Amino acid sequence: MAFELVKLNYAYDALEPVIDKETMEFHHDKHHQTYVNNLNNLIKDTVFEEASLEEILTHLDHAPEDKKNGIKNNVGGVFNHNVFWESMTPGGSKEPIGEIAKKIDEKFGNFEAFKEEFNKKGAGQFGSGWVWLISDKEGNIDVIATPNQDCPISCGKIILLGNDVWEHAYYLKYQNRRAEYLKEWWKVVNWDIVEQRYQNRNHNECSCGCGC
């Protein structure tokens, strides 16, 4: 079962002026597609050939030793970007809703303090990586950053929201101004999907064939 590049739910220019059309085209059609192609090649004739992205990410110890790093990097590249595209919507949805809004207030005090912590972690990630709002199955939330294409679900966490801080995500418009990109990005966040992910945090079960 070969993975395919996900289709965007909006036009390439729909997130402007926050993210420009050219960046979206390169990011989705080139960078993300490359991760998809690499992953399909790497998992051929392995235990992961019929597995889902989630199953691969949570069972990386079953990867062939000579392919382990490649599979880890590319399955993260595919999954993380899938989350990223879905985390955004034209015009954004302004503020958190439902249970996740309450959890953010409980954890961080208020929405502005949460955004400050998220932006701080994203700006402070050395080199390439991601910044995330995550949850555990009990519903406890936190903000973390991860390097490269590392994915929080490999450590048993549930992704609620993620922003890409690799330079290819913002450099054409913002150059070295990552902090400005992080600040502007809130204008396109899809809080409906964040709440949906929080509500569904206990609904993922493993059915892979890797002997777990």
Per residue in 136-195, pLDDT (tens digit) is 999 999 999 999 999 999 999 999 999 999 999 999 999 999 999 999 999 999 999 999
Q: Which pLDDT tens digit goes with each residue over 37-50?
A: 999 999 999 999 99
**pLDDT tens-digit series, residues 114-153:** 999 999 999 999 999 999 999 999 999 999 999 999 999 9
User: pLDDT tens across 93-116, in order?
Assistant: 889 999 999 999 999 999 999 999
Q: For residues 197 and 38, is the Cβ–Cβ distance under 8 A?
A: no
Average pLDDT over residues 195-200: 96
Which pLDDT value is given to residue 1?
A: 64
Mean pLDDT of 1-8: 92
Query: Tokens 């509500």 sit at which residue?
Result: 199
Domain with CATH 3.55.40.20 in the chain: 98-199
| Contact indicator for 80, 130 with CB cutoff of 8 Å | yes
Q: What is d(CA 95, CA 192) in angstroms, rounded to the nearest whole number?
A: 9
Q: Would the pLDDT of 212 be above 70?
A: no
Alpha carbon distance 197, 188 (integer Å)? 17
Helix (H, G, I), strand (E, B) or coil at 146: strand
- Contact present, 147 and 122 (Cβ < 8 Å): no
pLDDT of residue 94: 85
Nearest Cα residue to 27 out of 54, 2, 8, 52: 8
Q: Which CATH class is domain 98-199?
A: alpha beta
pLDDT tens per residue across span 16-30: 999 999 999 999 999
pTM: 0.92
Beta-carbon-side half-sphere exposure of residue 101 (alpha carbons within 13 Å): 9
Domain with CATH 1.10.287.990 in the chain: 21-86
206, 156, 88, 101 alpha-carbon torsion, rounded to 10°: 110
**What SS3 state is found at 12?**
coil
21-86 CATH fold: Helix Hairpins (1.10.287)
Res. 202 pLDDT band, cuts 50 70 90: confident
Q: What is the pLDDT of residues 59-99, one digit of tens each?
A: 999 999 999 999 999 999 999 999 999 999 999 988 999 99
Please give the structure tokens belonging to residue 44: 């051929």
Give the closest residue to 53 by CA, choosing from 95, 104, 86, 6.
6
The residue type of 76 is G
